[in-house]
Structure 1
Amino acid sequence: MKIRALLTAVALTAAVPAVAQEGAAATPPPAEKKTPPKGQTAKALVKDSQGKDVGEITFEQTKHGVLIKGTLSNLPPGEHAFHVHEVGKCEAPAFTTAGGHFNPTKKAHGLLAPKGKHHGDLPNLYVGQDGKVQFDTFSQNGLTVKSMFDKDGSAVVIHAKEDDYHTDPTGDAGGRIACGVVEKS
């Protein structure tokens, strides 16, 4: 729980300058709803090691980072690591074909690591006793929708255990229990 509070504090601290700047304007600009430019959204249809549908994760590029949303089910209850991996390939049952975490800058793993983090490092998922989780998270660590479509693509992987946010290279997250190839939407 302390890690969740710390991550929330970090995210809010990063957002404060933008909020302060917006409040400084004498007259706020009119709110505009813009559709993201073509090529700025992606999705991953996630399957478990038996090939059963687990759900969908979407990625939307914004001015300040990538908004990541998901609705997943049929997962084991508890806390699970969730990462973007470097290869767009999800061969069951172990999903090792997805490679390591998406890490083009060759940093250490972990949201709490002094020499981290990977672009693919994301907060843990908290799956309920019913095996379901719905989430919205935001990545401001260099990940972009465009970067996920390099020569071999990318995948999103759900791990068996929680990410400890500092052990290199995987956060001691255990095996891979679900995977989805990131595709343009």
Structure 2
Amino acid sequence: MFIILIFASLFSQNVFCATEVNQARAYIFKAVAGGIPTEIIGTIDFEQSGSFLKLNGSVSSLPTGKHGFHIHEKGDIGNGCLSAGPHYNPHKLSHGAPDDSNRHIGDLGNIESPASGSTAISVSDSLASLSGQYSIIGRTVVIHEKSDDLGRGTSDLSKSTGNAGSRLACGIIGTI
């Protein structure tokens, strides 16, 4: 019986270690209204470094300017990225900026696209994580049409979506 308990203890520790995820990737697809996207326009790599999640990558074919950048609840890129659902917000907080204490886990602010060339993505976040109870693995990263007002606007959508407009691109976050 003692040997069985030791084996069970070691097995459960190995299972716990196996759930620790340090790297992930999302292939970013151009949104297709009412359909499932097929055109890959970029890649974003996710790396967990202690309590910080680092996102690095690039995306092409985005209009010039700022675009809301969020993690959405579901891992589904269908229907013009609308099937990804709302921002990932398990604590039911208001929308905010990445450095706000009151914000969705999925609120990553804005990325900025240059007039020519690809959009470089370099984001670091202390709330989103690849492991644990509120892991973002299997969820969708979404790039929006307009700038995210970070919950500071006057629109009714400001406190829920940052009034960032339609979805231009998205990709499911998966382990690598």
Which bracket does the TM-score occupy, shorter chain normalised?
0.7 to 0.9
> Residue 181 of structure 1 aligns to which amino acid in structure 2?
I
Structure 2 vs 1, CA of residues 68 and 48 (structure 1 numbering), >3 Å: closer, same or farther?
same
What is the CA deviation profile of residues 63-98 of structure 1, one whole-angstrom value per residue up to 9, with x for unaligned ones? 131011121111111110010111011014x21110
Unaligned runs of 5+ in 2: 1-18, 33-37, 152-157
Runs of 4+ in 1 over 6 A off after TM superposition: 112-115
Match of 1:73 among 51, 60, 75: 60
Q: What is residue 146 of structure 2 aligned with on the other side?
A: 161
Question: 1:116 offset after TM fit, Å?
Answer: 2.2
Residues 108 and 115, structure 1, Cα contact 8 Å, conserved in 2:
no
- Structure 1 CA distance for aligned equivalents of residues 48 and 120 of structure 2: 19
RMSD of aligned residue pairs (Cα, Å): 2.0
Unaligned runs of 5+ in 1: 1-36
> Residue 96 of structure 1 aligns to which amino acid in structure 2?
L
Match of 2:166 among 170, 175, 179: 175
Structure 2 vs 1, CA of residues 44 and 113 (structure 1 numbering), >3 Å: closer, same or farther?
closer
Q: Larger C-alpha radius of gyration, 1 or 2?
A: 2
Question: 1:112 offset after TM fit, Å?
Answer: 7.7
Q: Percent of aligned positions with the same letter in both sequences? A: 34
Q: What is residue 91 of structure 1 aligned with on the other side?
A: 78
1:6-155 correspondence to structure 2 within 5 Å: 39-50=21-32, 51-92=38-79, 94-111=80-97, 116-140=102-126, 142-146=127-131, 147-149=135-137, 153-155=138-140
Residues 76 and 172, structure 2, Cα contact 8 Å, conserved in 1:
yes
Question: 1:135 offset after TM fit, Å?
Answer: 2.3
Could you tell me the TM-score, scaled by structure 2's length? 0.76
